[in-house]
Amino acid sequence: MSVPPSFDRHGPETPVSPVVLSVPHAGRDYPLPLRAALRVPLASLLPLEDRHADTLTIAARGAETLFVANRARAWIDLNRAEHERDPRIDEGAAPMPEGAMSLKLKSGLGLVPRRASAVDLWRRRFADEEVRERIERDHRPYHAALAAALAAARDRFGVAVLLDIHSMPPLAAGAARIVIGDRFGRSAAARFVGRIEGAIHAAGVRSAVNTPYAGGHVLDRHADAAAGIHAIQVEVDRTLYLDRRRETPGAGFDATATLLRRIIETVADEALPLAAAAQ
């Protein structure tokens, strides 16, 4: 039986836009070893998915290079660093005191998630070799390909901007429907975030910056604003584009895809004058 690739690339290998897109959490490939290790129904893993964030981004994509992870986040989380291994379920994890763990790791959302919606997922611990194989086959290739595309875009245009697309459950009533993360100003120039805010505001949608999502390992790993590579996380409220059961694209899908397209175009517009100046 052939094994599906761990990620898909849409668009050219050498980017034709300074904007590169990434969707690391929408994978729906649940390998057999994962399913065999579950102590809960497979549906219990769905809260970990950025449900159809890939479908949304593909609809919004023009000529940009886009990377979409196929493996489920429950198998390995591409938005966590390789060292964020949970000692409670991972025999290869370095022992660490509770106080030394990140909040995500402490809550069970490490490189291999331990919990979903406060429910423990696994009937057994994972051997060091199992997790290392996931890192080598799934985690590293995704990040290597993404890094190469960003470097190629920067070399061609003088600047590259990664938009890392995620989805989120609805926040409190009246709260933001889209959250922009830039690691509190560390991963991208403020002008790009400002332009994204403007595009969202023009569409009549509420937005916030870094609260409650500031971005994770994807931004930390790939952003180098001083070297011309910027990285921004975009979290989209699932109720904007999914049906009432939050399972399939709903009535708001087309409008949300149009807004995401406008965000991409706005970022490219901000980047291109910089690209021209660098030539």
Pairing relation of β-strands 119-120 and 207-209? unpaired
Contacts (Cβ under 8 Å, ≥6 apart) of 30: 42, 45, 72, 74, 75
| pLDDT above 70: percentage of residues in the chain | 97
Q: Provide the whole-model pTM.
A: 0.95
pLDDT at residue number 5: 82
Nearest-angstrom CA–CA distance, 234 and 164: 6
Say if residues 168 and 214 touch (Cβ distance below 8 Å). no
- Residue 65 pLDDT grade (very low, low, confident, very high; cuts 50, 70, 90): very high
For the chain, counts of helices (H) and of strands (E):
8, 9
Peptide bond into 41 cis (omega under 30): no
Which token pair is 133?
A: 């194989």
- Please report, for the chain, the start and end positions of each structural domain, with discontinuous segments joined by +: 7-30+41-80+132-278
Pairing relation of β-strands 207-209 and 229-237? unpaired
Which token pair is 110?
A: 């490490």
Question: Each residue of 78-132: pLDDT tens digit?
Answer: 999 999 999 999 999 988 777 778 889 999 999 999 999 989 999 999 999 999 9
Nearest-angstrom CA–CA distance, 98 and 235: 29
Q: Which fold has domain 7-30+41-80+132-278?
A: Aminopeptidase (3.40.630)
pLDDT of residue 237 exceeding 70: yes
Question: Each residue of 138-197: pLDDT tens digit?
Answer: 999 999 999 999 999 999 999 999 999 999 999 998 999 999 999 999 999 999 999 999
Nearest-angstrom CA–CA distance, 9 and 146: 9
Residue whose C-alpha is closest to residue 67's, from 126, 6, 17: 6
Question: Each residue of 4-51: pLDDT tens digit?
Answer: 789 999 999 999 999 999 999 999 999 999 999 999 999 999 999 999
pLDDT at residue number 96: 79
What's the whole-number average pLDDT of the chain?
95
The strands making up 65-69's β-sheet, listed across from edge to edge, are 7-10, 65-69, 19-23, 160-168, 229-237, 178-181, 207-209
Question: What does the DSSP assignment read for 110-125?
Answer: SSS--EETTEE-BSSP
Question: Each residue of 95-109: pLDDT tens digit?
Answer: 877 777 888 999 999
